[in-house]
Chains A and B, each alone.
Chain A
């Protein structure tokens, strides 16, 4: 226990120090994307890993976070930080509206229902003129400041903001693992009938897990909007993005605290680097590599790469 705490402190320390080593924008950007996806994947892990409800619609929360922030900033001049909170509130609302009927569905029916919800959101946003329809929204360039959540001269502030978000997500996930909620969620995953007979309100705890998942995904949407300064439906709520979150968790280790972090550190560099170095010649190669990785992992090592580090947990 003590040892793993030291490893964690070392890991965070290294992450915090890395931008001082890397001065080029690209490695910094790469690490920002890794941490952003790690945060979102921790969010997915709470509903998909701990609770065992495979959601292919989590990108919808990312989109809600991004769009809420952008719309509030452009139309009302509200700071993105408040937009982040508003995005969370709307995402939780969406999670409850969607979860309430969908959590009655079992297995595949649930997974496909989340795909349907995600795709319906995509169609709505692609046709909704108020949010820029298919063209999307350009976030106005404002003066560089923390309150404006815009930094143009360097990526460093973005780096530390996303690092803080990642630590927040890890803390939330850790707190769930150690609390009664965590035991309830795992009971729901492993034996729903048994959990029900013990008096656990399954529907309620699934909704709580989904809401937490929604919050962690939504804040990433806000960050993305302010980081890239341009959002459109297929960059913020595409089905492929939801799938990527599951893949990251699967690669790292499903239902494990650091599984999503390990997964993001493997997956994001793999896709970003193949895209950069192989360019259009290598179109699809990243997909081929990671699909083979997923297939092999799902067949031979469902516990993910994290189990390599933790020999005791096999």
Chain B
């Protein structure tokens, strides 16, 4: 019994790192321009289909296609910003919600059209298999994905805190006017935030494809989990999202283990409600 418990904790922890990576992109975009990207999970779905496509068409392993998928998603983020987000950046919140919701439905519609509603999976990847670590079985794809997510999160934090471009990005998110007076082009920074924010789900999607089914609705739950992580970590806080991702991963598996697996998603949502009612600024958010 104890073995099962440890096993559960480990799998929750590993998933938590991926949740964190997905949420980091969401929270960056939110912190920058106060726009919630409701389609975030669906960009993840697109990334997973790209990885799947590279496998089917060119026989590329998801690990091989990861840089390509990330680059494609980066471009997609920039395009999304210039075509759809820029026109509504000062529009009422309702218009902003509907535009990103429109993107959500558009991406799901395109996925259904191109790939139908079937569940697809890459049968054999470089990473298939398990390792046995003190009687706890850990899937190699899951372990790699968690490692990749940690690495990617670290890179983003380093980029934001240590590079000139990253600091400019942070400056715009803190005070648009002041940043403009310092000669920072906020428009370009917004575009960059969308690029990086969507590129993170490119990485996450590629990593997930090694062990997760792809279907048009796959982004729905991941997107919702990302909201929960962002709310828990504090809207706009990258470091908060990292910690919150781990907590959400653990809450999900523990709820499933202790009460009922089919209800595990409910505990994640209850966590969201508890956070916004009790501590609306999240763990590390600004008030």
Contact = CB atoms under 8 A, between A and B. Distances in A.
A167 interface: no
- Taking residues whose C-beta sits less than 8 angstroms from the other chain, chain A's interface range is 35 or more
A239 B41 CA distance: 15
A295 B231 contact: no
Interface string B258-271: 00101101100110
A273 interface: no
Nearest to A107: B93
B180 interface: no
A295 B110 CA distance: 15
Interface stretch (B53-61, B97-105, B169-177, B244-252): B97-105
Interface stretch (B127-135, B188-196, B272-280): B272-280
Contacts of A286: 109
Interface string B94-134: 11011101111110111111101100000000000000000
20 contacts: A105-B276, A108-B36, A108-B93, A109-B280, A111-B36, A112-B227, A112-B276, A116-B228, A116-B270, A119-B265, A120-B270, A123-B262, A123-B269, A126-B262, A288-B106, A292-B106, A294-B105, A295-B84, A299-B84, A302-B94
B112 A116 contact: no
Contacts of A181: none
B contact patch SS: helix
A224 B95 CA distance: 31
B108 A284 contact: yes
Interface in A92-129: 101, 104-105, 107-109, 111-113, 115-117, 119-120, 123-124, 126-127
A111 B117 contact: no
A290 interface: yes
Contacts of A285: 109, 113
B224 interface: yes
A295 to B, nearest CB: 4
Interface in A290-304: 290-292, 294-295, 297-299, 302
Contacts of A115: 224, 227
B101 A283 contact: no
Given A283-B113, A285-B109, A285-B113, 14 more contacts: A107-B93, A109-B276, A112-B231, A115-B224, A116-B273, A123-B265, A243-B101, A246-B101, A287-B109, A291-B102, A294-B101, A298-B98, A298-B99, A299-B95
- Give the interface centre of A254, A294, A297 by most chain B CB atoms within 10 Å: A294
Contacts of A105: 276, 280
Interface of A: 52, 54, 101, 104-105, 107-109, 111-113, 115-117, 119-120, 123-124, 126-127, 239, 243, 246-247, 250, 254, 280, 282-288, 290-292, 294-295, 297-299, 302
Interface of B: 36, 84, 87-88, 91-95, 97-99, 101-106, 108-114, 116-117, 216, 220, 224, 227-228, 231, 260, 262-263, 265-266, 269-270, 272-273, 276-277, 280
A139 B266 CA distance: 28
A127 B267 CA distance: 14
Given A117-B273, A119-B269, A127-B262, A291 B93 contact: no
A123 B263 contact: yes
Contacts of A124: 266
A255 to B, nearest CB: 10
A interface, over-half SS:
helix
Nearest to B270: A120
B117 A283 contact: yes
B226 to A, nearest CB: 10
Contacts of A108: 36, 93, 97
Nearest to B217: A240
A113 B262 CA distance: 21
Given A119-B265, A284-B113, A290 B105 contact: yes
B272 A284 contact: no
Contacts of A297: 98
A155 B102 CA distance: 34
B38 to A, nearest CB: 9
B3 to A, nearest CB: 27
B277 A291 contact: no
A235 to B, nearest CB: 15
A250 B101 CA distance: 12
Given A283-B113, A291-B103, A112 B93 contact: no
A94 B219 CA distance: 28
A44 B114 CA distance: 33
B21 to A, nearest CB: 20
Given A287-B105, A294-B101, A299 B224 contact: no
Contacts of B265: 119, 123
